[in-house]
Structure formats: structure tokens, C-alpha cells
A and B are shown apart, each in its own frame.
Chain A
Amino acid sequence: GENVEQHPSTLSVQEGDSAVIKCTYSDSASNYFPWYKQELGKRPQLIIDIRSNVGEKKDQRIAVTLNKTAKHFSLHITETQPEDSAVYFCAARANGGYQKVTFGIGTKLQVIP
């Protein structure tokens, strides 16, 4: 089955700096890679996703890159703000909606004002 590894597990950055979270996946059939943000005590919410036919996707201060050859994808947050502090999960899924979505262990991001 799919295995998703995520690092770092914790990340502290100064407000205004950039943050990068990296994930690798094992199943070459995976073709959908979402990122979820979970604030303390709340449900995970999708912040950005990318499909395997795209190498990069950007949405304001957030961007995701995908390297299918290396089975590696990353989340980039620029100009971080205190409200970006949360746990971020990467995930991978193959075969449309017929397969499970496998999540990484999560990265606890702290943005220091």
C-alpha cells in the first residue's frame, strides 16, 4: 500500500519568512496530492492540491511542487503570518476516489511574531 513520509515534524519560522514542508510517496500509481491544514482543536481543511499532470500550482502565498520521477512533493508558504501556525498534512491517493487517501504524519508549524 501507499506510504507517505513527511518532514520536518516541527518547524518554527519568523513571521515574514518562508516555510517548506516536504513529502515523499511510495506508490507510483498515486496521482492526487492534497495538503490539509488543521488548526488546534479543529477539523483538517484542504488548502491546496495538485494532480500528477501538473508540476507546480500556486494560490497566493501557498505553492505546491511535484516531482513524479522522485515521488516527491512540497508545500511552500511565503511571507508567513501568525495565523499560518497549525499542523499541515500532506496526502496521496491513486485511482480516483476508489482508493484511500494516505496522510503523512503532519508538520507542526509555528510562526513567531
Chain B
Amino acid sequence: DSGVTQTPKHLITATGQRVTLRCSPRSGDLSVYWYQQSLDQGLQFLIQYYNGEERAKGNILERFSAQQFPDLHSELNLSSLELGDSALYFCASSVGGPVGGELFFGEGSRLTVL
């Protein structure tokens, strides 16, 4: 158990819909990262937050948005879903800041868009 909690584990929805993925980082970690992993693909960086502020952005689609709340949990919102959005979405956390620290991954949220 990495200490990073992601919900839901599985989600099946239809094209055009909107979903929210939730991530609770490890206790004490201030940085949260979101990655997308499509079938047999690598880890595509979406976005990073540190202590509530956005720190880095990858090739995140405009239909996607995220935020980190004061209690440090994070949510990734995916809207106007398309078939190609079907993927495993990982959240990771680290201590962040000047220390940086190891990334600990959650179990992922598997999104299927039909």
C-alpha cells in the first residue's frame, strides 16, 4: 500500500459525459501529480500541484481540469468525454518542495468511455 488513495477504481461512462477522479495523497506529501496511461502506453504527465498551487502542466486537454484543495486532496475533472479518453489515470504524491522526494503512485482509476 503506497498510502495514496484514488477513487473510483473503475468507471464506465458514455461519450459526452463528465467524470471526476479523486486522489488523497500520502500523509505529509504536499505535491500531487496526475498521469494518464493508455493501453500499452507510457505515463503521460497531465498536471502537478504543490500545496494547492499549480506547478507544472503537461499536454492536458482543455476538456480536462484539476485542482488541489486546502486539505491537499486533488480532483481531476474530465468533460465531454471521447472514446480516446479511455485510460488508466494515476495520481502520485511526493513530499515536494526542495526535497522533492520519491513519487508514490495510487492504484489508478480505470476509465472506460463507451
The residues of A with any CB-CB pair to B shorter than 8 Å are 32, 34, 36, 42-46, 49, 89, 93, 96-106
SS class of chain A's interface: helix, strand, loop or mixed? mixed
B102 touches A49 (CB 8 A): yes
A44 touches B43 (CB 8 A): yes
A103 touches B105 (CB 8 A): no
Number of interface residues of B (CB under 8 A): 31
A97 touches B105 (CB 8 A): no
List B residues 39-67 near A (Cβ within 8 Å): 41-43, 45, 48, 50, 55-56, 58
> Among the interface residues B2, B41, B102, which one has the most CB atoms of the partner chain A within 10 A?
B102
- The residue of chain A having its C-beta at the shortest distance from the C-beta of B98 within the complex is A96
A46 contacts which chain B residues (CB < 8 A)?
102-104
| Min C-beta distance of A1 to chain B, whole Å | 9
A96 touches B99 (CB 8 A): yes
B42 touches A97 (CB 8 A): no
